[in-house]
Structure 1
């Protein structure tokens, strides 16, 4: 409907000059007054029709473009959510944000204005040129010759503008990343007194973007100036030659008026060509940037099997892992067998791969060798929903969303009752949530920055406990707690872990004491498995790792 009404509108607008010629050559020149009223009514009817068609075109256009933008935004968000952790660790968040916001807006503007008028203007140029050649071909040739330099310069402009548009959009993404990092890390910046330094970094990137945008504007302004000169120069030549033709009676006055009117209708298509081409290049660049995400497919696919009534029997069978862009093995030949109800403490030096190992269980990453099974099912054969319902994780760097405390807590289990929420808060020693200004309905703000680190960790732990998983993964979840609170949380966790299979990444001896077994991770593999007392007595490397707490915890 959008294009059909636009085409009809172009046809109606071009018919008006032809009616004007009939009025001048008939009622005006030859005094055929009987034709004046019908022709005037025809011109009025065409004008009204053009207005109605423009309204219909804009209505259809706004609906179509809004639907397209909404669909693109939905598809882009769904794809971002489906991509694995490895993708998100490589991409700057500002670059992703600029694609979801700025690039989508660029495409919407082009689809809502540029594309339609590009088609309309090209059609109008072709139809008007044919009409001009039919009205008086010598003047039509003048107009046709004037189009040659416009086409040549447009092609040259298009190539240059495409490159600089991509450069601007990439720099905008880098600047968005800088702003986001500064907003999220404001406490660190202030604590170290680095505001002037961070501001200089921002100014440098903003200045670079400014100079690139100025270069882009210079290129566009030169092209637009050229497009403004050619039509006006051509009009002067047409007026001069047309007047001579009327004087020699080669054409009628009405034909000259119609010719000039039709030629003037080309001024907008030609002068707007620069803006439309610029918009087209920006939209092409934006579409290319968005395609980089939409064309990226997750290697982690949901399996066909549903995991129901899981007992939590977890096995690692010769598990290995390496990142896709690195041949170095992060983990290799990991073998563990955790029977239902068993709690395993995972101990290792910083950077030994503990977090990576725990991320393999819910398939945040996929194993590159061996397999992980739950109740005998390879986790790759399970649907992601059922797997991640059976496995809950709490991380050392907890993420809270800009929503209420209750919404954050029930993220993994929306149907949890108030009693169950309170029980989870009690286990995590997070009853402070009830004392917030609006209780559990209090919004915690972006990243939960209105709370302390220990409070965020306790809410994240409560969220994991509330999910009542078959397998509970705690990745150094108690690191931000004071000794007294940690002891209370550990005591409550003993009851929770007795009913589930647990993997606890531990750096403190007190946390290790929660576990039935301890696994020592060294050089990418499990070198020792046993109780805390056994490893403490027989493995020097284990004693060294827990030396700071050794005196506090009885062997």
Structure 2
């Protein structure tokens, strides 16, 4: 359960975002308040009309005048309501958009460890649902809550001016409403927070199920996934019912008590009028005024619920915005005078934030020469992938240092470092865009369109991703969300092409060719050597063929580098290395490539 903060403390955090539009919001508030004052003025016209024109001998002209005044006041109220909307809608949507863009930008800056802890659905619900609700609250809920409060206060003063006895009866109903309102606020805040968190969890489940639909279908687990989703959806439904129950009870109280007070006031008012202590016009005006403020009183429950939900949305938004990006650029970034690509690990270590006493990597010391290809091998769980993610600073070393050409990675500007270092991972991530856009994602922006097309063609050729040209729209084919319309081997080759097109000095590969057959892998490696002769490559190898193609091999054992040398030397001298090589996976078959080759052969016949 998130820590509860005071309402005004949470809402005040919106001030920097709302400050530029405060004049427009104030004008909207003023229009709404004037509309309420116009509504309160109508009963006073009725009082004058009844006490004057409707008395025996009253003027017909006065009746028509009063009718026209009431019509004018009604038209003015409608016009002011329309003006309120005009004043607040555009600036409120502007604030929503800016906050959404700011949140997205902050998410891009935050570390990988942050995203490891947070479900994507939770972030999605904060970026969409919460900010959408905040916009509606700023444009309507906040203004109407202020207007409702002022309308009721002014209305009560007017009622006192007409009959203090009846006003006291009406005011007496406010005491239990205020008492219950305090309890309602506390209870509703908790259930509103629980509802929004559960909605985020449900969004995460939907996203995971959609992305993993092939796995669920392949293993026949759709029913189990549906049962789990149904359970989560039912929990959210019960929470929403609890919200509705709290709101319904509060609405009952704020509706019933004023109505009972008005009923009692009617009896007392008739008695006062019969005694001549209250005019008929004042009696009618009193109850007309009560009718005007009855609607805001009844609506106060909904407005209060909106305010509490908005407060929760603000808290959830700033939970993300308050997260600190620990991987940043220094004030005065440095870079080597001549960028060659020499990569050095100097007693480097790493431990996750939630387990600082259990380091994943310890005392890593490794020198990779410019242009050299170094294979990194080790049993599952030895820390290979984690070590690779230290190079582009996806994770930050917690001990020692890593340097490129003698400059500590932490002295580079983050953006510049990630142009020097390119990555391709085994679990490829592609975006819902064209093959062209995915491959050229990290390519240098400089250069003509022809240069970019040439870089695209070369990257696809090196990665042996010729299949891209046979797609329905060639390299401009939209490949679908996360590239799921492609096979595993095709996705890996597109991801590798993306890393090649970036033209890095240091290339980090986390077994990006695991889905390829050995012949395709060999062709890719051969072309990589030709095209990236000056590029330093660190590659996690899970197959003997990949190891054999490397210049040297580093053996990672229990988070430490225990041996470095050529494949042949380590195979002859290191028993643990022989064990690791023997346990590496057998060469997989790329069924997609085989099928394409078979079809090509059939066509040629």
Which of residues 217, 220, 241 in structure 1 aligns to 2:247? 220
What TM-score results when the alignment is normalised by the length of structure 1? 0.95
Which of residues 379, 385, 388 in structure 2 aligns to 1:355? 385
Q: Which runs of 5+ in 2 are unaligned?
A: 1-26, 446-450, 588-605
1:380 alignment counterpart = 410
Which of residues 349, 355, 371 in structure 2 aligns to 1:341? 371
Report the secondary structure of 1:291's partner residue. Answer: helix
Give the alignment of 1:35-114 within 5 angstroms.
35-36=62-63, 39-114=66-141
Compute the displacement of 1:37 (Å): 5.4
1:28 alignment counterpart = 54
Structure-2 separation of matches of 1:2 and 1:408: 46
Q: Which runs of 5+ in 1 are unaligned?
A: none
Which of residues 472, 475, 500 in structure 2 aligns to 1:437? 472
CA contact (8 A) 1:94 1:176 kept: yes
Compute the displacement of 1:28 (Å): 2.5
Compute the displacement of 1:545 (Å): 1.1
CA contact (8 A) 2:152 2:296 kept: yes
2:603 alignment counterpart = none
1:462 alignment counterpart = 497
Compute the displacement of 1:35 (Å): 4.7
Whether 1:208 aligns to 2:235 is yes
* 1:468-503 deviation per Cα after TM superposition (whole angstroms, max 9, x unaligned): 001110111111111221121111122234221111
2:463 alignment counterpart = 428
Runs of 4+ in 1 over 6 A off after TM superposition: 549-552
2:564 alignment counterpart = 529
- 455 and 232 in structure 1: CA distance in 2 versus 1, 3 angstrom threshold: same
2:333 alignment counterpart = 305
Report the secondary structure of 1:520's partner residue. Answer: strand
Structure-1 separation of matches of 2:495 and 2:211: 19
- 258 and 517 in structure 1: CA distance in 2 versus 1, 3 angstrom threshold: same
Higher alpha-carbon deviation: 303-312 or 69-78? 303-312
Compute the displacement of 1:420 (Å): 1.3
CA contact (8 A) 2:334 2:407 kept: no
- 387 and 141 in structure 1: CA distance in 2 versus 1, 3 angstrom threshold: same
Structure-2 separation of matches of 1:485 and 1:500: 21
Whether 1:325 aligns to 2:354 is yes
1:490 alignment counterpart = 525
Report the secondary structure of 2:582's partner residue. Answer: coil
Structure-1 separation of matches of 2:85 and 2:52: 36
Compute the displacement of 1:219 (Å): 2.3
CA contact (8 A) 2:543 2:586 kept: no
Compute the displacement of 1:165 (Å): 1.4
Compute the displacement of 1:113 (Å): 2.3
* 1:306-365 deviation per Cα after TM superposition (whole angstroms, max 9, x unaligned): 648632222211111111110211111111222321221111111111111111111101
Report the secondary structure of 1:265's partner residue. Answer: helix
Whether 1:401 aligns to 2:428 is no
Report the secondary structure of 1:273's partner residue. Answer: helix
Report the secondary structure of 1:301's partner residue. Answer: coil
* 1:24-61 deviation per Cα after TM superposition (whole angstroms, max 9, x unaligned): 22333362556555544443433322222111101112
* 1:92-151 deviation per Cα after TM superposition (whole angstroms, max 9, x unaligned): 112222222222223223223221111111111111111111111111111111111111
Structure-1 separation of matches of 2:286 and 2:544: 92
Report the secondary structure of 2:236's partner residue. Answer: helix
Report the secondary structure of 2:514's partner residue. Answer: coil
Report the secondary structure of 1:266's partner residue. Answer: helix
What TM-score results when the alignment is normalised by the length of structure 2? 0.88
Structure-1 separation of matches of 2:50 and 2:302: 36
Structure-2 separation of matches of 1:466 and 1:16: 73
Report the secondary structure of 2:374's partner residue. Answer: strand
CA contact (8 A) 2:202 2:229 kept: yes
Structure-1 separation of matches of 2:382 and 2:131: 41
Compute the displacement of 1:175 (Å): 1.7
